[in-house]
Amino acid sequence: MRQFLCYTYAISSSFGYSCREDFVYFAEICFKSFGDRIKNWITMNEPNLLVDMSYIRGFYPPAHCSPPFGNCSAGNSDIEPPIAMHNMILGHAKAVKLYRELFQLKQGGSIGIVGFTEYFEPLRDNEFDRQAVSRALAFTNAWLFDPLVYGDYPAEMRLYLGSALPIFSPEEINYVKGSLDFIGMNFYTSLYAKDCIHSACISGWDRPIRGFVYTTGERDGEPIGGRCGNPRFFVVPEGMEKIVSYMKERYSNMPMFVTENGFSPPQQNDQVQALRQDTNRVDFHKSYLAALARAIRNGADVRGYFVWSLIDNFEWIDGYSQQFGLYYVDRQTLERVPKLSAKWYKKFLANGTTDHSNEEDFTTRSFGNTKATILGSEASKAAI
């Protein structure tokens, strides 16, 4: 059965009441126009990452930030992020309410949201850093998903942000709580977490908006995993099993999709040849899929997995410097050339051998008898 995922986007500098209503109006047009074909809807992609990059760091539009996080022309990194997130959550929940009341029964679809997820390990073997891990998970992952499942923000956020964290009205709780049919997870990496309440930290990480947690990919000069093209991404396969297990436990094993998972290699001298013979990407997906299979065997209700991405494409402010694709694109001719990973993944989807003697044949043992559908990247972002 062919599957579709529709992403609907609405981003503005404030994402206030009027923009929420505009978003719901836009979503209604999508439901009316495409609901006979699209059966799996995603309202927003990575609102939690957008808040971080747009309203804390100020890297993405509308580029709002304040010292010590950045030197933008406008913004307050301590105050604006919770407001922006709050309004996006309300926009999502209103769109879901509309879909369920007017379209879902007739069209027979489902609706959810996608969050940027990370897993964390304690930087030091002490209780303070283990508590920092809990806060990092809450401020990164649960900030988005807790309200949509339980109707309120994580207790860790309430404790440290206080009045800076908005309150849901009783009416809002009625349509925010439970406004998910499934959880979408974009997952790439794990990081270390260090407590900044009882320890000195780099300026900016020792703030309530960060949960008083410093996150890093290195400990004593050693990376947590293999390096990637993105300096904040590392190859940590066991993180896939841990993040899925975390979401399973925190949200009572709600249906999950891994909506993005992929690898961009560090820059190399013989770039074109290295990109095409991408054994590092093949190893990445083998190891992450094996970790995902372990989580599924332990009961996680994972319904699908999507490779990011089909081709080397435009990656936000990184442009074409990051190559996540299974296909290399010649920017002069626009020719698409399958990499080694594309050929391997084609065989994997056809239940061919994994050609990986050090791993069990997880293709048939772990995915063949589960609800999970392992899908190609070409279906991963069917957008309107």
Q: Bridge partners of 186?
A: 116, 260
Annotated catalytic residue, options 21, 101, 260, 335? 260
- DSSP symbols for 179-194: --SEEEEEEEEEEEEE
- The span from the CA of 345 to the CA of 360, in Å, is 17
- The span from the CA of 336 to the CA of 333, in Å, is 9
- 260 as an active site residue: the answer is yes
Which bin fits 261, alpha (ψ -120 to 50), beta or left (φ > 0)?
Answer: beta
Contact of 367 with 374, CB cutoff 8 Å: yes
Look at the alpha carbons of 282, 284, 288, 290 in this order and tell me if their dihedral is positive or negative: positive
**What is the number of other CB atoms lying within 10 angstroms of the CB of residue 230?**
17
**What is the number of other CB atoms lying within 10 angstroms of the CB of residue 345?**
21
- The span from the CA of 232 to the CA of 243, in Å, is 17
- Three-state secondary structure call for residue 373: strand
**What is the number of other CB atoms lying within 10 angstroms of the CB of residue 272?**
11
What H or E segment, with its residue span, contains residue 218? strand 218-219
- The span from the CA of 275 to the CA of 229, in Å, is 12
DSSP class of residue 317 equals G
Active site residues: 260
